[in-house]
Structures are given as C-alpha cells and as structure tokens.
Structure 1
C-alpha cells in the first residue's frame, strides 16, 4: 500500500511538472506535434487515474489484511492464554503431587516415631514393673534378713553364754587360769607354725634352687649360642726362615759378636743349629720373642750385620712393636665395645695378643668372655656395659704376671686399681677363679663365662697323642658292651657311632645300650662339652641275580 501511494504521488508530481514546463516554456516543445503532446498529457492523466484506483484497491486489500492479522493475533493470544493456563494447571498438579508425597513421607516418619515411642513407653513400663517387683523383693529380703539377724544375735548370745560356761568348766577341770591357757595355746600354735614354716621354706628353697639352676643353664646356653667365635686360635711361631746357610755365619758374626749383641739387645736366645734354612728364637716373654723375630727378619733382609746396625734395628722394631701392641689393644676394646680405657690398660691388653693359654689366644679369650658376660647380664636385667668391661679385663694380669709377684688374678686387680677402674671390675679380675668370696654378681658371671670360653669344643688344642688316646678310649668302652660289632669315634671325639648285631640286640635293648654307653662314658672319661652316642641296628638282606 505504501508503494502504490508513493508511485501515485510521483506520477502526479511528474504530470504537474510537465504541464508547467509546457505552459511556461513552449519553446522547448517547438517542432513536436501537438497531438503527441496532448497524447502525453492524456496518458499522464490516465496513469494518475489508474494509480488512484489502484491505490484504492490496494488500500482496501490492506484494510482487509489488517483485520485478518488482528483476528489471527487475537486467536493466537487466546491459544497462548489457554496454553499458559494448561501449563499452570500442570505445574500446580505437579506441585500438589510433590506436596502430597512429602506429606505422606512425613506421615510415615511420624508413624515410625509414634511406634518407637510406643515401644519405649512399653519398655519403660516393663522396667518400672520390674523395678517395682525388685523393690518388693528387696523389702521382703530386708525383712527376712532383719528377722534372721535377730535370730542370729539371740543364738550368738546363747553361744557366748555356753562358751563361757564351758570355759569355766575347762578352767575348773584343768586347774589353769585364762592367761595360762592362752599362753599354752599360743606356744603350741607357735611350735606348729615353726614346723610348717620350716617345711614351706625348705620346699620353696628347693623350688627356687631348681628354677634358678634351670634359668642359669638357659641363660648360659643362650649366651654361648648367640656368640660365635673361632674354634682354634693362632699360636706364636718362634722359627725364622733364612735364604741360605751362609746367613747363619753372618748372624753369628766374627767370634759370635753379632749373635751376642742381638741377644743382649732383645733379651732372647738365638739357636743356630744344623737344621737347614731355619733359625730358632727362644724366650719366655712372648713379646720379646716376637720383637726379636721381626728384628732378625729385618736384619736378614737388610743384609748389614754388625752390632751398631743390630741396636738400631732392634730399637726401631721395639717402637713399632709398642705401637702394634697399643693398636691391638684398641682394636680389641673397640670390638668388645669397651670405651674410655686407660692407654696403659690398652697396651697391656695388646700384649695378651702374644700370650696363649693351652694354645688359646688370651686376647681372643678376653673378647669372648666379655661378650658372654654382657649377654648373660642383659638377660638378668643387669648393666651389660659394666659386665662386658669386667669380662674384657679379667685376665689382664697375664700381661704382667712375669714382671710382678703373685698370680695373674692378684696382679690384674692391682693394675686395675692403679688405673682407677670400678670396684666391680677389680673384684671380677681378683675372684674369677674362686680365690675369694664373690661380693658382686658380675664376678660370678665372669667366672661362668671364663669357664664356658675355656671348655667349649675346639677352644683349646690338644696334643695328637691325647687326641688319639681319647678316641681309642671311646671305642674301647663301646666295644666292651655285649652285642656290639663295631664302634667308630668321629668328629674329633664328639660323637661315637656303635653298630650292633641285629640278631643279638633288639630295638629295646639297643635303646638301653645307648643309655648305658652314655652313662659309662660320663663316668670313665673327662672331656669338655658333650659326646653324642648313636647306636645303629639294621637288618640287610642281599641276594645276587645271575
């Protein structure tokens, strides 16, 4: 409609402009035919008329379309309103259903609470009834007890009265007064209690003794089992190898001056005999012997043999030996975890490295005794560090017993006292061989550990003759029993295996024979440790297929 209106307006404006130009300026249209001009004007007029009618038609159509749009909009609005009403109703229904569900859930909870309250009320009522019943029973019991108490009191009065009458009669019959009768009864009771107390004391002493022995065996056995040490110790060698026999002449020197100078400087005896390639150094002091050995080895390697050189080498070797001894003592103390030892004591302990007792190295023995004493003390709840110190220093007197008077326990106690050791350590060194009465438990532990270390299998080497003799004695004892065919001592005499004739000895007799043989060995032989007895009985059937 707007397009047609604007078109009509443009046509009218163009027609008016054309007519105005034709009237005002006729010269522009000169030469044009009048008919054409008129036709143009008429066309313009007809166009204007047609535009007017077209505008009217279009405007009518537009008015008709607007009414339809308005009607359609009203219908859409109505539909939207109905849809909104429907959605609102649906939402209202949903909310109502949710509220209904919530109300039903709350009603269920309230019902459950009501049921729980009903149960609690019923339980409370039952308890109240039970309490009331108990109160009635208590009241009844109290009443009965009160009645019984009255009866008992009456009976007690009667019993007291009867007892007084009987006592008076007893006094009249016995002719004793009250104090004498009481004294006589107390004396008799005292005698009976003494007898019973003595029997109980003896019984408990026997039980305590048995338990103490058992516990002591367990503690010592556990300590020995926990400690592992070498079964044999090295021994000091006193022989020196020389490269050739000409060296013997150089060692002796002209008219024996070299050997005399060496023996004077070292304090040992040098034996040069016909044995090829060997020179023997002999001395009571193992430290001097070792020093002389090392000095002679240095002289042989150096090759210069004269008294001045001998003195220099011996002095140098003595200094090295002192340092070596101190180092050995410090390493042993560190191994045994013994802190804060005096330097002199460390040097004395280092000297024990060259001391042996029945082929057992005394320094290794001291370390072993320290470990065993410490473990036993810790199991008994004592001071393990102090016990290890007592065990480590118990044989220190062996390092100076040839320089001081007395046995090594007394010498060791004197040295330890001189260098400020504790009384327990001094007493352990003095009394570990039961020379004095033990005043400290650590002395007993050191003595036990010393015995265990010295007597355990392999601690001390035996001579070949003694070793063979013990094996022969074991086998001879076993072969002396009837039914024994063969006997073999094995494992250095720690086990004997006996083979019996199965026709002469049955299984029960074999068990009895094993026990009798073990008893005979215990009674006949003296040995450290134990000997295992094994009796073998078997029947073999052999056939040959040809």
Structure 2
C-alpha cells in the first residue's frame, strides 16, 4: 500500500515536472516565434517607409515641376502684357504727336483766317467808302436823293412785277388745271365706278293703303276718338280725306311716321281698333322700331367694316334709314359716301378705314334726338366729340359744309364724296319751283357785277356762263371776276355738287356790204 502511494506520488511528481518542462519549452518556442514576427514586421516597416519616402519625393518633384510651369506661364503673360503696354505707349506717343501737329495746323489756319478777316474788314470799309462816294455822285448827277430814287425804282418794279406775276399765275393755273383736273377726274370717276348703289326715293309723307273706304270709319272711331288717340300716341297727323282707299300720314319725324304706319297696319289687320288697343299697339311698334334702328345701325357698321362705334352713334346711324334729303335716303347716302371716301383715300395713299368712318358719320347731325339751333354739320361734330371719336374724324364731319376750318386731309375727301353722292344723276330730286329759282338766282347774282352783259345758267345749274364787255373789263379783271362770282355763290347759295363759272370776254366787229 505504501509502495502504491509512493508510485502514485512519483507519477504525479513526474507529471508535474513534465508539465513544467513542456510549459518552459512552449514559452521558449513562443518567444522565438514572437521575435521572428517582430523582425519580419520591422523589415516590412522599413520597406514601407522607403516606399513612402519615394512617393513623397516623387510628389514633391511633381509639385515643384507644376509650380515651375505655372511660374513660367505667369512670367510669359507678364512679358506679353509688358509688350502690349509698350506698343500702347508707342501708339499714344504717335497720337500725341499727331494731335500736336493738328493743333499747330489749326493754330496756323486760325491765324490765316484772322488775317483774311482783317483784310475783308478793310476791303469792306473801302467798298463802303466807294459806294458812298458813288451814291453822292449819282445824287449830284440825277438831282435825286437815294430815297427818292429808291421809291421810283420800287414803283416801276411793282408794275413789272404785277404783270409778270399775273402772267406767271395764269401759266401756273393753266398747268395745274391740265394736270390736277385730269387726275381729280380720274380719281372721282374711278371712285364712282367702284361704288355703284341704287337710288332710294322716299316721300316726306306716307300714304297708307287700305282695302276699302269702310275701314276709314273704323279708324276715325266714334266722334273721332280713335284717330285722336292714334295722333296723340304717335305724334303724327292722320289725314282722312276723299282719296280712295288711302290715308295720308303727315309728320316732321320720319320715325314717328313709320311707327304710325306699322301701328295702323297691325290695327287694321287685327280688326280691334279702340283707344286702349291703339296705345298698346303703338307702344309695341315703337319698341320694335327702336330694336330695328339699333339692328340697322349694327348691320351697317358691320357691312362697312367699321368697329368700335359708341352704341348711341350706332343708334343714330340706324335712324338715318327713316330720314331723306331731297328724296335721297340718308342712310343710303351715308353708306355711299363712306365707300366713296374709302376708295378716294386709298387712291391718295391715306387710311381708308378712317375715311369710311368719317363718311358714314358725316350726316349724323340730321338725326338727333333733340333739335338744337345748330347746322347739322356742327351738331354732328359735337355728337362725334361727345362719343370720343378721333379729332380728324370730328373735323371732317364739322367741315364738310365749310362751317369750320379743315385741319386734316379727311375733311376735303368727305366734302367731295358728299357732293358726288348728292349730285350724281338720279340721286336727288328737286321741286321745280325751287330749281327754277336757283337758276334765276345764279344769273341775277352774276348780272349784279359791273361790266357783265349777259348770263346763262346751263347744265341744270352746274355751269354759269358770264359774258362781259371787252371795252369794260380787261383780261386780268376777267380772272378776278370769275373767282369773285364763284366765292359769292359758294357763300350765299345752296346747291348740290359744284357750279362752274365761265367768264367770256370777246370783241365783235359787224359791218354790212350794200
């Protein structure tokens, strides 16, 4: 037992010694391996260090090369700038030299001019002295002072100038007539040919046709109450006479006359004619006519291509449909005038839209809602100004009868086209008595001048022939007489279109052989 214990103890001691020895051997081996790793790490660190040093040196070399390159570029730029500065200095020096030479030349020129001016002053003084001496010698020889001689010379030159001016004026007028009349006729004829409209003739009274005379009694009513109610509602005088199957509607306002006609037509067609029904129908017709007036104005503006008209102006344009002048429908006349104005403005290189607008509105003063004491041209101008029309259009409206001064080229165009539309054949009609009186007034006006022997109004009053005595009036006075008669006719008479005044001066010698 003791032996076993000893063996176990010995074994345990041996194992412990072995373990210690193993541990020592293992520690020695680990130490050796660590030393080897440390040596290898040191070697690798040295290699890495050398590589980094080489890279740093290469980078340093690159940076140094780049810095040298940039420095070289800057040095090159500085050298170029210095070269340009030197060239600029040379140019400035050259310009300064040229400027100095120019200043020297200017100074020399100024000195020469001063010398020439001084010489001119001295020459002028010498000439004044010589002229004064010559004038004194002339006054001594002629026995007249300078003022007296000047007056005589002026008088003699006046007579020569008058004769020369009259001859020159005649030549200019003949040449102007040859060219201007030809061109004006071309424009007018072309305008008329391009604007062809039918003539509308309307009466100042309206005749209402009825089927039988029995309806007259129904229109008159018991004790005339129906006709009184109709006259009171429409403001139109209704004339019921012996004219078969017709009633005459008479009134100053054509719109009221049309309202009365349409109201009568509806009343007769309906058969119910009494005061209450009359007022109802008249009110309804008046509203219809008002709508038709506005629609007519709008349609007219659209047809003519006129935009931006004030609604009240459109209404006045529509009212022209129910107004006539010398039998010529006012709306038709205004449309025709507008088209003529546009054509003529185009021929003359002006704005045709403005001309057409002025032509349409030139007679709106004939259809106002009120009746002020103003000529229709001036009233139309005021209405156009009220509704913000342009100044040249307002002037064209107000000046188309020469009641104000014409300030734009639109004014004479509207004036001429108004005359063309009113004076063309068939456009208007004139009462025979008024026509004969106008012709007689033309002849008597010309006969009132001294030296006039006979006068003849021909071509329906479009031309006035005036025969004067050759022993009483000379050629120069003949021209003056023609112009004076024309001006007086224009100022004192009313006529459509224009009147041509021809003054004839001739000498006749008559002998008889027996």
Shift of 1:108: 1.8
Q: Name the CA shift for 1:332/1:61 in 2 (closer, same or farther; >3 Å).
A: same
Q: Name the CA shift for 1:84/1:115 in 2 (closer, same or farther; >3 Å).
A: same
Check conservation: 1:231, 1:457, Cα contact below 8 A: no
1:391 equivalent in alignment to 2:363: yes
Check conservation: 1:238, 1:289, Cα contact below 8 A: no
1:283 equivalent in alignment to 2:248: yes
> In the TM superposition, what are the counterparts of 1:240-259 in structure 2 within 5 Å?
252=214, 258=218
User: Which residue of 387, 400, 404 maps to 1:440?
Assistant: 404
> Aligned partners of 1:201 and 1:36: how far apart in 2?
177
1:424 equivalent in alignment to 2:374: no
> Aligned partners of 1:427 and 1:45: how far apart in 2?
148
Partner of 1:12: none
Shift of 1:115: 1.4
> Aligned partners of 1:361 and 1:113: how far apart in 2?
90
User: Any idea what SS the aligned residue of 1:130 has?
Assistant: helix
Cα deviation, 1:246-305, whole Å, max 9, x if unaligned, reads xx6xx738xx95587599735346987xxxxxxx54536486687467545544455x7x
User: Which residue of 38, 49, 53 maps to 2:6?
Assistant: 38
User: Which residue of 50, 68, 71 maps to 1:82?
Assistant: 50
User: Any idea what SS the aligned residue of 2:371 has?
Assistant: helix
User: Any idea what SS the aligned residue of 1:439 has?
Assistant: coil
Partner of 1:180: 148
Partner of 1:20: none
Query: Larger Cα Rg: Structure 1 or Structure 2?
Result: 1
> Aligned partners of 1:172 and 1:300: how far apart in 2?
109
Cα deviation, 1:300-357, whole Å, max 9, x if unaligned, reads 455x7xxxx466655544444444445555656777746669xxx97x985x755667
> Aligned partners of 1:288 and 1:169: how far apart in 2?
92
> Aligned partners of 2:149 and 2:158: how far apart in 1?
14
Q: Name the CA shift for 1:252/1:267 in 2 (closer, same or farther; >3 Å).
A: same
Shift of 1:68: 2.3
> Aligned partners of 2:268 and 2:12: how far apart in 1?
157
Q: Name the CA shift for 1:327/1:148 in 2 (closer, same or farther; >3 Å).
A: closer
Q: Name the CA shift for 1:76/1:459 in 2 (closer, same or farther; >3 Å).
A: farther
Partner of 1:101: 69
User: Any idea what SS the aligned residue of 1:417 has?
Assistant: coil
Cα deviation, 1:451-482, whole Å, max 9, x if unaligned, reads 45457899899xxxxxxxxxxxxxxxxxxxxx
Q: Name the CA shift for 1:196/1:49 in 2 (closer, same or farther; >3 Å).
A: farther
> In the TM superposition, what are the counterparts of 1:408-487 in structure 2 within 5 Å?
416-417=371-372, 424-425=378-379, 438-440=402-404, 448-454=416-422
Partner of 2:21: 53
Which runs of 5 or more structure 1 residues have no equivalent in the other structure? Answer: 1-32, 243-247, 273-279, 397-411, 429-435, 462-527, 529-546
Cα deviation, 1:64-83, whole Å, max 9, x if unaligned, reads 22332332232233223222
Partner of 1:118: 86
Shift of 1:444: 7.3
Shift of 1:121: 0.9
> Aligned partners of 1:113 and 1:201: how far apart in 2?
77
Q: Name the CA shift for 1:448/1:199 in 2 (closer, same or farther; >3 Å).
A: same
> Aligned partners of 2:193 and 2:64: how far apart in 1?
88
Shift of 1:126: 0.8
> Aligned partners of 2:128 and 2:325: how far apart in 1?
83
> In the TM superposition, what are the counterparts of 1:371-382 in structure 2 within 5 Å?
none
Check conservation: 2:344, 2:413, Cα contact below 8 A: yes
> Aligned partners of 1:156 and 1:444: how far apart in 2?
55
> Aligned partners of 1:263 and 1:386: how far apart in 2?
52
User: Any idea what SS the aligned residue of 1:416 has?
Assistant: coil
1:136 equivalent in alignment to 2:104: yes
Which runs of 5 or more structure 2 residues have no equivalent in the other structure? Answer: 228-237, 302-308, 383-399, 430-496, 498-514
TM-score, normalization: structure 2?
Answer: 0.52
> Aligned partners of 2:122 and 2:323: how far apart in 1?
92
